[in-house]
Structure formats: C-alpha cells, structure tokens
Amino acid sequence: MQGSQNTQNYSEDAIRTLDWKEHIRKRPGMYIGKLGDGTFADDGIYVLLKEVMDNSIDEFMMGNGKKIEVTVQDGRVSVRDYGRGIPLGKVIDVASKMNTGAKYDSKAFKKSVGLNGVGIKAVNALSTEFNVYAYREGQSKRVEFCRGEVLTDHGIEESGEKNGTYIEFAPDVTIFENFKYREEYIETLLRNYTYLNKGLSIVFNGKTFQSKNGLLDLLNENMDTEGLYPIIHLEDEDIEIAITHGNQYGEEYYSFVNGQHTTQGGTHLVAFREAYVKTIRDFYNKSFDVSDIRSGVIAAISIKVEEPVFESQTKTKLGSKDVGPKGPSVRNFILDFVTEHLDNFLHRNAESAEILNRKILDSERERKAISGIKKLARERAKKVSLHNKKLRDCRIHYTDIKKDENSDSSIFITEGDSASGSITKARNVNSQAVFSLKGKPLNSFGLSRKVVYENEEFNLLQAALNIEDGLDTLRYNHVIIATDADVDGMHIRLLLLTFFLQFFPELVKNGHVYILQTPLFRVRNKKKTFYCYSDEEKHTAIKKCGAKPEITRFKGLGEISPDEFKHFIGKDIRLEPVRMKKDVTVKELLEFYMGKNTPDRQNFIIDNLVVEEDLVNED
C-alpha cells in the first residue's frame, strides 16, 4: 500500500521547471559555494565580487583597459573597468540569460577565467540591487535588476564616458544574513589579481595596488622573513614560477590559473610539486626523500590554459589535463619547463644551489633523528583515537568539503571536561568535532619539531588535525580555539597559537584558525533572553528588557549549558579569524609574546591593561 501511495504522489504535477534565477536562489551553493556572513575568506559575498572582477580581468588579459576601480561601502559593491564594454544590444542577455557570453569564442577570450556564462548571472540573482552600465564608442546602456528581474531598461543613450563596464550590486540580506565585508580579504583577492597581471592597476576604496615583478612580488609580500636564498623567478609566455625556502616547517604554495587563485590547487600544482622534486634529485644526483626536498619550500606558480576545466563553479581547483585542445598535458608542460629552467638556474647560481643543498640535508638529519619517536607517537595517537579519549570526531571532513562546497567542517579545541562536555553535547555531529586538552599546553617557542612527537598533547592534536605531512590532508576547514575568557583561557589560547605558528604557520596563513567568541552575559526576563558579548550589548539588552532583568556573568564555558551552547556554535556562531599583520614576522611575534620576559613586554602589558568593572549588579 505504501509503494502504491508513493507512486500516486509522484505525478506530472510534482514535476517543476525552475527558471534560471529561481534555481540560483534555491540552490546558491551550486554557483557560489557556501554562503556565510563574511567571516571566512571563501564566503559567498567575496565570490560575488570575484565573479564580477573575473570579467574585468579577462578584458585586461585580452589587452583592454589597464585600470579597474573597486568600491565597497556599507555592503554595496561597485566595479568599473575600462575594457571594451559589453555590446550594448546584449547587456540584458549577458546579465540575465544563462550560458550567454563571449567566453565561448576562444578568439575573443583565448585564456579566460570565466567560460560557462554563469558567474555574473549568479551575482544578479543573489542581489537585491544589480545595476549594469555599458559604455561603448560614445554610447551607453544602463539596466537595473532586482533578484534577477529587470526593473528598468534605460535604452541606449549618448555618453562621454570611456569604454568599459560599470557594475554595482548589493547582496540579498535574506540570503547573506548579517553579512559584512572584511577589507583584508578583499585586499588579498585584489593583490593577487595584480601579481598575476603585471601592468594592471586596481584602485580599492582609494588605495592603489599594482605589481611590477609578478610572483616575485607575491612571495616578498607574503613571506615573514627573507628566504634562505634569493627567490628563484622563472617565467615564459604561459607560465611563471617563484621559489625559495624558509626555516619554517611544512610547505607553502600559491597557485593560479589564468589569473584565478586556485586555493585548492589542482593538476598544475600536483605537476609542479612532482617536477620540482624530480629536478632537484637530478641536479644533485641524489635520491633525496620527497619530504626533505619540500620541507620549508615557499613557492608560487601561475599558468595560462585554454578553456580551463575547474572542479567547481567557484574555480578553486583546476581539473584540466591539457593546456589546450592542441597543447601538451599540464603535467608535461610544467615538467618540461621546470626541468629546463630550474636546472639551468641552479647551474648558473652555485651559491643558491649550495644553500638549498644544506637545507635539504638539515631536513634529512632532523627527520632521521626523530624517526623512532614519530613511530611511537603514531602508535600512541592510534590507541587514544581508538578509545576516543581526546577526540570526539565528526562525520564530514575537509576532504569531503573539497568535493561538496556546501559542506563545512570544524574542530573545537577546548580545555577541561565541563567545557568539552557542553560543546560535545551541543555540536552538530556531522560537521563539528571536539578535541579536549588536558591542562595547559607546553610553551613550544624555540623548540624543535621533536617536541611535537614527544609531547602527548601536541602529538595527539597534530594527529587529530592530520597535518604531519602538510595541509593537503587537513581534516577540518576551521580549527577553532574555544577557551574561557579569563587569564588562564587567554594563556592557553596563546600557547596553542604559538604551537601552530612555530610548526604549522601555513595553517594560520591560509585562514584556518579561529577564536570562538562566547557571550560574557545573559540578560533575561520572563519573556526575553539576550546573550551579550560585551558591556555595550549588555546595556542595550537591559534597556530592551524594561524592568530590572536577571543578569548572569558567564565565568567559563563550563557554566554554559549544552542547550544554550547550541545558540553559540550554530548558524549564529561568532568566530574571530586569526590573522597576522603584514609588517610583523612570526619570529618577532613569538619572541615578543612567548620569549623571555622583557621590559618591552612589561610596558606593553601596563599600557594596555584594562580593569574590568563588575557591572553585573548595575541597574
């Protein structure tokens, strides 16, 4: 009977055909990845900006327009380029008809980022205001949209504006709730465009970005300290590479295709890593271990590919096997280039070659010295995982997210049974894991990597994150430090950050580490409850409650019940990303905060000391 009933419900009336904008709004993740509110660099509001920028970049790459102006203010975005301008008779089609654009014609856009005619339509459908101005040969056309619907078609008019396109949009707040653009994320996005497009000038809110030396500038801007040897900068018509080594552990890569930052790598990055190892082994005529060759490497690679195939609409991972319909494979193209040019460089630069050789040998000695400890540490980590003493795992991991951009994966690192217990009971078991620390971690500043395996807490944390061999195997997209907002909690937070910066700096640099913000106060009466993250929010809540409310000051995470915790680690979670200022190095930072006590640090503490007033009993 049940089967018969289901058959009856599955009728012709159950079949629906959504138009383009309905489909985008109903399934936005298919077009822009996850939504978010701007806390993370890959949140949807930045993808909207990127989709508009990609079209302007493609114009520049085809030799049209050397300046792009970007303004972001009060949640509104505008982008003005000085390319050829959208053909006036096709403005509505380009902005609102799926699979419409010039990118299908390889003569007009030979090596373009956007090829499927979807991106700008997604921005249109997901914006409450989307206005397009096209300027072309003394004429202009302006069209205004709302959520993909044409509001006003102003027709073709005379214009004194220079050729190009101007687009402004406001993301839909019903989809991107409480969103806020962070300028540092936008600046990183725009800087990367200039590194990949020498001669391009991008003006963002009055600040100008440009690059004369491409990937050489990118590495210099992003490195904490000078490399062990001068950056090796190699380039040809469709490929550019910059390489050096630092004293840090792990590997650090920046990869690009047709000006697009492929944050998840792809076939080109795999090929480069393989080619680099092969070239080094051949040059020194030694079968060095792969991990020794790559330990401490800092590199950037950019290639141009005809009709690139990406593994998702947001274009964060290249899937192309070939550089073009008639070209070689991506692997062979990169292998041939690196083998020839890097080998030639090393032969011509004996001093750099010698420094690189010493770095590899140092890594080899350290690896062999701790090989026995690593084996024991791995066995210990497996036993702890089996008994589930430290890690309450989730079902979805970062490797799954790379296949499904609508997914998410986080791990909360907390201290104490009560706090970890509350988070464990309140978490989403599909996407949120909990790692419980036992007391305060060791101050790892200045210690060698040997301590990672000798210290049980560090060994188990490394094993839980699965980052021993780099971020390729990272199991959680968001590594969230969840400690009490008191002196002990702050100290634990500093010790964890020291561990990450000392041994896995790329975890912080790549935007994976966050601090969980939890409320300091609960203000409630019989009808309303407010959770307040500051004194200012508390005073506002008191006023909203009217009569004298009940005010609770949370002294620790363990005091927050699991039912309440669901509010703080659910869709309204407040996370503060851990970022480093460009003018501060990891070494300087750790020496100041975690090194031996100094008068400078004492003066800093005194100058920044805040005595918290006990306002719980006010009013």
pLDDT tens digits for 200-212? 999 999 999 999 9
Domain count, the chain: 3
pLDDT value at position 615?
Answer: 38
Reply yes or no on whether the pLDDT at 2 is more than 80. no
Helix (H) or strand (E) holding 497: helix 487-503
- Considering the domain architecture, whether residues 354 and 385 belong to the same structural domain is answered as no
Side chain identity, residue 174: T
CB 334 within 8 A of CB 272: yes
pLDDT digits (tens, 9 = 90+) for 399-441: 665 444 445 789 999 987 778 888 999 999 999 999 998 888 8
Distance of alpha carbon 516 from its chain centroid, rounded? 18
Residue 232 domain-assigned (yes or no):
yes
Residue 605 domain-assigned (yes or no):
no
Domain boundary among 365, 391, 418: 365
d(Cα 373, Cα 136) in Å, to the nearest integer? 68
CATH number of the domain encompassing residue 247: 3.30.230.10
CATH number of the domain encompassing residue 559: 3.40.50.670
- Considering the domain architecture, whether residues 284 and 405 belong to the same structural domain is answered as no
pLDDT digits (tens, 9 = 90+) for 46-77: 999 999 998 898 889 888 999 999 999 999 99
Residue 287 domain-assigned (yes or no):
yes
CATH number of the domain encompassing residue 147: 3.30.565.10
Residue 110 domain-assigned (yes or no):
yes
pLDDT value at position 225?
Answer: 81
- Considering the domain architecture, whether residues 147 and 222 belong to the same structural domain is answered as no
Residue 525 domain-assigned (yes or no):
no
Q: Residue by residue, what is the 3-state secondary structure of 409-431?
A: CEEEEEECHHHHHHHHHHCCCCC
- Considering the domain architecture, whether residues 169 and 285 belong to the same structural domain is answered as no
Residue 170: pLDDT band with limits 50, 70, 90:
very high
d(Cα 149, Cα 133) in Å, to the nearest integer? 16
- Considering the domain architecture, whether residues 333 and 197 belong to the same structural domain is answered as no
pLDDT value at position 619?
Answer: 41
Angle between helices 586-594 and 599-607 (to 10 degrees): 80
Residue 157 domain-assigned (yes or no):
yes
Higher pLDDT, 120 or 595: 120
- Considering the domain architecture, whether residues 183 and 275 belong to the same structural domain is answered as no
- Considering the domain architecture, whether residues 396 and 435 belong to the same structural domain is answered as yes
Query: Which of the residues are catalytic?
Result: 415, 484, 486, 488
Q: Residue by residue, what is the 3-state secondary structure of 449-489?
A: CHHHHHCHHHHHHHHHHCCCCCHHHCCCCEEEEECCCCHHH
- Considering the domain architecture, whether residues 305 and 444 belong to the same structural domain is answered as no
pLDDT value at position 105?
Answer: 46
- Considering the domain architecture, whether residues 253 and 291 belong to the same structural domain is answered as yes
pLDDT value at position 13?
Answer: 55
d(Cα 81, Cα 394) in Å, to the nearest integer? 45
Give all strands of the β-sheet with 139-146 in edge-to-edge order. Answer: 149-158, 139-146, 127-136, 164-171, 76-81, 67-73, 201-204, 207-210
Residue 507 domain-assigned (yes or no):
yes
pLDDT value at position 273?
Answer: 94
Structural domain for 177, as ranges: 22-207
d(Cα 515, Cα 412) in Å, to the nearest integer? 9
Residue 590 domain-assigned (yes or no):
no
Mean pLDDT score of the chain:
84
d(Cα 368, Cα 502) in Å, to the nearest integer? 20
d(Cα 205, Cα 166) in Å, to the nearest integer? 15
DSSP strand pairing (550-553 vs 76-81): unpaired
Q: What angle do CA 297, 298, 304 make, to 5 degrees?
A: 120
- Considering the domain architecture, whether residues 237 and 344 belong to the same structural domain is answered as yes
Domain boundary among 166, 187, 207: 207
Positive or negative: CA dihedral 538, 539, 544, 547: positive
- Considering the domain architecture, whether residues 285 and 395 belong to the same structural domain is answered as no
| Rounded mean pLDDT, 235-264 | 88
- Considering the domain architecture, whether residues 46 and 194 belong to the same structural domain is answered as yes
Domain boundary among 316, 339, 365: 365
